[in-house]
Amino acid sequence: MTTIPRREPDQVMRLARIGSFHQSRLSFMRILTRRMAREAWSFSRPQFEIDANGVGVAVYCVDTGERRYSLVAFAHDLPAEMRSDRVIAQAWDCTFTLFDGVPTSEDISRLSQNVPLQEAGRITQSELSLSRANRSVRLWGHVVDRLAQGVQPDAAEIAKVGYLMRTTAVYGSGKFGAADYETLADRPEFAAPFQVEMLSVYLIRTFVRDLVNHAAVQKGGDGAVALASDLACRLGIGNSTGLGMAPFLLNHPVLINNWITAREEAIARVRSILTVSRNDVARFLELLARTALSCADWRTSHEVQANKIAVLKWDLEQTATFAAQMDWAIERPWDYLVRWSQDHVGLEMQECLASLILEPYAELVDSLADGMSDLGHADRAIDGAMSVAKLRDIITEVYGWARDFDWSAKENCARVWYVSEEKLEPRLGERFDEPIADYEQP
């Protein structure tokens, strides 16, 4: 199917480039929402029992046509002094679980005794995820106040933050008693990675919108208005922690390989297209312009990221100018455009472009999502008969690059992962004056 080969791992598997990836047709949430639309999933809210103080329980159900799932959401009255985004927090504004089916009153009673406790509680195989979220201190009050007064919140304030709540964890796959992924992998809706977690967050977003409208009515009475749909569409769910990513990357190399391979295969397929239609070019140019508009709204106080966004804005302009003047009748125009980007724009724009060229080609790209999971655990059992020499050869072949480092050099052993005694969270240690071997391991 491809004449242009996939990019080499030496080019792709670099932190700077991987950190520049943009969402694409193979992003986990887009895989889920495409299925929702294709299969005409239906949604309902059978329960919303939240009192005037914002405390109570709500249930949101989704019917896939084959099965039903329910988000059970608990809203709490969290004192300001207890609000924390740290992993060691013990209370939150809201806590959630995704339930397999539709919960009974007995189920909800049981969940009410455990879900609000998060790590300190226990759930069962009937629960597929466990999560919690806190309100945005900056935005929640503004939105509630304005809606209570009968007017919409300031769009500029929404753009600065982008969410009304942010999660501090979305646990799945067997955590704290939840159903193991292997028990769900044969369900088509959960075959792709992280679909349970994405469905949880999708429903949480709906709950948060309803909760802020409820809070506004409690404060403003009949004069309150609901959040306008165009503003609600701009709000996502924030995520305040990524502490699990480092050990996850180390423990799931096949999964990471499958994700990257699917994306690189998609890029290679599109780059191999000999000729393109006017509609495909028009679609690409439209999305390129929309990306520039979106990028103009991005906000950050982080100097490094702010500089990267500034470069991306400039590169988007250069790419749009070049694409508008390009001869699209040439052979393999997408490959030509990708090769041009490698010489004229930065990594952020190169990877943004790699994602954008996939958009017109659902028939070439979307099916690759089926191979992004890792179900081959049984195929990787340790061979107890393997000789030490054979194992040594495998290690040298796969991890030989690690032997090229001089581990006595300060720059190669100046940082270390440790657990903060104060915060009980993983940290990357600061530079040491001497090689790490001279220090007691934390």
pTM, 2 dp: 0.86
CB atoms within 10 A of CB 368: 19
Q: Is residue 2 one of the residues assigned to a domain?
A: no
CB atoms within 10 A of CB 140: 20
Structural domains in the chain (count)? 3
Task: Please write the tens of the pLDDT for every residue from 136-150.
Answer: 988 999 999 999 999
Q: Is residue 276 one of the residues assigned to a domain?
A: yes
Task: Please write the tens of the pLDDT for every residue from 198-238.
Answer: 999 999 999 999 999 999 999 999 999 999 999 999 999 98
Q: C-alpha distances in angstroms, 7 versus 265, 266, 276, 362, 364?
A: 9, 11, 22, 21, 17
Q: What is the mean pLDDT of residues 121-141?
A: 93
Instruction: Examine the domain organization and report whether 212 and 151 are in the same domain.
Output: yes
Instruction: Examine the domain organization and report whether 211 and 314 are in the same domain.
Output: no
Cα distance between residue 257 and residue 376, in whole Å: 13
pLDDT value of position 379: 59
Q: What is the mean pLDDT of residues 4-19?
A: 92
Q: Is residue 27 one of the residues assigned to a domain?
A: no
Instruction: Examine the domain organization and report whether 237 and 256 are in the same domain.
Output: no
DSSP string, 30-80: HHHHHHHHHTT-EEEEEEEEE-TTS-EEEEEEEE-SS-EEEEEEEE----G
Instruction: Examine the domain organization and report whether 68 and 135 are in the same domain.
Output: yes
Cα distance between residue 96 and residue 29, in whole Å: 19
Instruction: Examine the domain organization and report whether 149 and 296 are in the same domain.
Output: no
Q: What is the mean pLDDT of residues 383-401?
A: 89
Name the least confident of 35-39, 239-243, 296-300. Answer: 239-243
Instruction: Examine the domain organization and report whether 169 and 202 are in the same domain.
Output: yes
pLDDT value of position 438: 38
CB atoms within 10 A of CB 85: 15
Q: What is the mean pLDDT of residues 321-332?
A: 97
3-class SS letters over 370-398: HHCCCCCHHHHCCCCCCCHHHHHHHHHHH
CB 194 within 8 A of CB 122: no
Instruction: Examine the domain organization and report whether 367 and 388 are in the same domain.
Output: no
Task: Please write the tens of the pLDDT for every residue from 230-270.
Answer: 999 999 998 876 666 667 777 788 899 999 999 999 999 99
Q: Is residue 201 one of the residues assigned to a domain?
A: yes
Q: Is residue 377 one of the residues assigned to a domain?
A: no
- Is the pLDDT confidence value at 433 over 60? no
Instruction: Examine the domain organization and report whether 239 and 260 are in the same domain.
Output: no
Which of 339, 371, 403 corresponds to the end of one domain? 371
Q: What is the mean pLDDT of residues 307-324?
A: 97
Q: Token pair 């998609």 is at which residue?
A: 266
Instruction: Examine the domain organization and report whether 217 and 255 are in the same domain.
Output: no
Q: Is residue 434 one of the residues assigned to a domain?
A: yes
Q: Give 51's Cβ-side CA count (13 Å radius).
A: 5
- Is the pLDDT confidence value at 187 over 80? yes
Which of 350, 371, 392 corresponds to the end of one domain? 371
Instruction: Examine the domain organization and report whether 109 and 136 are in the same domain.
Output: yes
Neighbouring-strand partners of residue 48? 58
% the chain with pLDDT above 70: 91
Q: Token pair 């009974």 is at which residue?
A: 104
Which of 347, 371, 395 corresponds to the end of one domain? 371
Instruction: Examine the domain organization and report whether 97 and 140 are in the same domain.
Output: yes
Instruction: Examine the domain organization and report whether 318 and 220 are in the same domain.
Output: no
As a whole number, the mean pLDDT across the chain is 90
pLDDT value of position 302: 87
Q: Is residue 26 one of the residues assigned to a domain?
A: no
% the chain with pLDDT above 90: 70
Range of the structural domain that residue 417 is part of = 384-438
Cα distance between residue 132 and residue 170, in whole Å: 7
